[in-house]
Amino acid sequence: MNRALISVSDKSGVVELARGLQQLGIEIISTGGTAKVLRKNGVEVKDASEITGFPEMLDGRVKTLHPKIHGGILAIRGNKKHVQELKEQGVQPIDLVVVNLYPFEETIKRTDEMEEIIENIDIGGPAMLRSAAKNYRDVAVIVDPSDYSWVMEELRKNDRTLSDRTREKLAAKAFAHTARYDAVISKYLGEKFGAGKFPETLTLTYRKVQELRYGENPHQKAALYAGSGKGIVGGEQLQGKQLSFNNILDLNAALSIADEFEEPTAVVIKHGNPCGVATGSDLLEAYKRAHACDPVSAYGGIVAVNRRLDEATAKELTSTFIEALVAPEYDAGALNVLGRKKNLRVIKVSNGGENGLEVRPVSGGVLVQERDVLSLKPEEIKTVTRKKPSEKEMEDLFFAWKVVKHVKSNAIVVAKEKQAIGVGAGQTSRVDSAEIAIRKAGEESRGAVLASDGFIPFSDTIEKAAEAGITAIIQPGGSIHDAEVIESADKHSLAMVFTGIRHFKH
């Protein structure tokens, strides 16, 4: 390796890399701001314009798009014709390309100014990366500053050469880097220029955060990837064992429910479903009430709260076994209490989830839909029974409706005083879900309300609710048997409202 071209937007570690290359006797070519930084730090640099014979043009839009750059990168060293053509054109080979790209993704996060955004679409950078990665047998390519140190170590140990395996690894990473870069640009401009939420070609790109011990089961391999970097994936783990695949799913479910509420709220999740949700005057009360919904199921569960966790609530949480906890903030006292449970996974998530698209794999492809973030407004509710819900019942109906949205369908939630007291999840029959929720609620069902994520198809669910002492029901309506269901509710003096909105969660 004799010559390297370095042109980076992210200057992290680049001076140390360039110094190391220079110490090995490798000539360095650079451009613009990178060249200035390197020179300022005592690194000898040859400007790309010296190689091409042309100055940087068009406010820096054209710097390296030239045969004397790309010819030097793309020439196959073992091809006599290529070598002869380089000689005839006065082109010298370039053996290492170190490039990372204009910060397009960071730019669209901080501004909507289109002119600035467009100028942060890199052209020359991706071209050099693809050229170098294509010719990986002869040219090494580095896109990630985290790779500088180990690549330099290999160059030092092996007389300025890199193994075939290293070149292959770096090339694959470069192609992944440009693919992600183009996908982000394509998605942003597609939405901006009217391609809609569901474009003809859907390109998904994620960055690996970490490999997991295993997936849903120990025989399944798994990894965690980041998209927007928000929500659980963007959270900070403050203590505890590594998160498992199932931990992450349950934490996400818990956080999604907690984010529904403005009042102090606690959520307990087990196997993807809430087994306790409650509000309170403060977090301590909220958690006690959430845990009381189903203390047996809550053991070994996942907890989310929507307020800064205080010391008193931390003590209550750690009085029983939980796997993981997520909150937006933690008091110092709370962290001290939680720290006594070394294996407890404690996650801080300061920015909630996102309202973008939800992608689910199926054999041969993916299903894509908008996330279910639709909220219910009071004026959208229609009372269909002779008895109208009281103000208190209406508050509980709204609470139950927010919770049932996050329960696997068929879903029934029984609630009282903004506390889930019975949850029936994932049954093939809605009346079975109702029986489970009512059984879990027990005597607390008297004076409670019931929410159903889909329409109640028959009066059997109404009969069960009335027998348990439930006084009000919220459901979407829309069954061909609505009249029969309403008649049954009137017969038992139940209040029932229709939302016209369904919240299936498959």
Q: What is the DSSP string of 4-36?
A: EEEEESS-TTHHHHHHHHHHTT-EEEE-HHHHH
Residue range 27-67, pLDDT digits in tens: 999 988 899 999 999 999 998 888 887 777 787 777 778 88
pLDDT category, 399, cuts 50, 70, 90? Answer: very high
Residue range 225-260, pLDDT digits in tens: 988 778 899 899 999 999 999 999 999 999 999 999
Catalytic hit among 134, 315, 387, 481: 134
pLDDT category, 388, cuts 50, 70, 90? Answer: very high
Residue range 122-168, pLDDT digits in tens: 888 899 999 999 999 999 999 999 999 999 999 999 999 999 999 99
Tell whether the model's pLDDT for residue 354 goes beyond 70.
Answer: no
410 touches 433 (CB < 8 A): yes
The percentage of residues in the chain with a pLDDT greater than 70, rounded to a whole number, is 99
So what's the pLDDT on residue 154? 94
So what's the pLDDT on residue 215? 95
* Residue in this structure with the two tokens 């038992």, named with its chain if needed: 492
d(CA 450, CA 194): 42
Q: Three-state SS string across 172-209, please?
A: HHHHHHHHHHHHHHHHHHHHHCCCCCCCCCCCCCCEEE
Catalytic hit among 173, 271, 348, 481: 271
Neighbours of 251 (CB within 10 A): 25
CA distances from 442 to 49, 339, 446, 492 (A): 80, 36, 8, 19
96 touches 3 (CB < 8 A): yes
**H or E element at residue 312:** helix 311-317
Tell whether the model's pLDDT for residue 285 goes beyond 80.
Answer: yes
Eight-state DSSP code of residue 320: S
Of 96-110, 209-223, 384-398, the one with minimum mean pLDDT is 96-110
So what's the pLDDT on residue 472? 98
d(CA 76, CA 132): 11
Residue range 416-454, pLDDT digits in tens: 999 999 999 999 999 999 999 999 999 999 999 999 999
Domains and CATH numbers, the chain: 3-192 (3.40.50.1380), 244-348 (3.40.140.20), 379-498 (3.40.140.20)
Eight-state DSSP code of residue 64: S
Phi, psi of 84 (to 5 degrees): -65, -40
Query: Active-site residue 134, yes or no?
Result: yes
Q: What's the rounded mean pLDDT across residues 90-104?
A: 91
Query: Active-site residue 66, yes or no?
Result: no
Residue range 71-89, pLDDT digits in tens: 999 999 989 999 898 898 8
Eight-state DSSP code of residue 220: S
Exposure string over 425-453, b if 16+ CB within 10 A, otherwise e:
bbbeebbebbbbbbebbeebbeebbbbbb
Phi, psi of 96 (to 5 degrees): -140, 130
> With left for phi above 0 and alpha for psi between -120 and 50, is residue 6 left, alpha or beta?
beta
Q: Could you tell me which residue, 187 or 294, shows the higher pLDDT? A: 294
275 touches 423 (CB < 8 A): yes
Secondary structure (3-state) at 418: coil
Q: What share of the chain is helix, strand, coil (3-state, %, to 5)?
A: 40, 20, 40
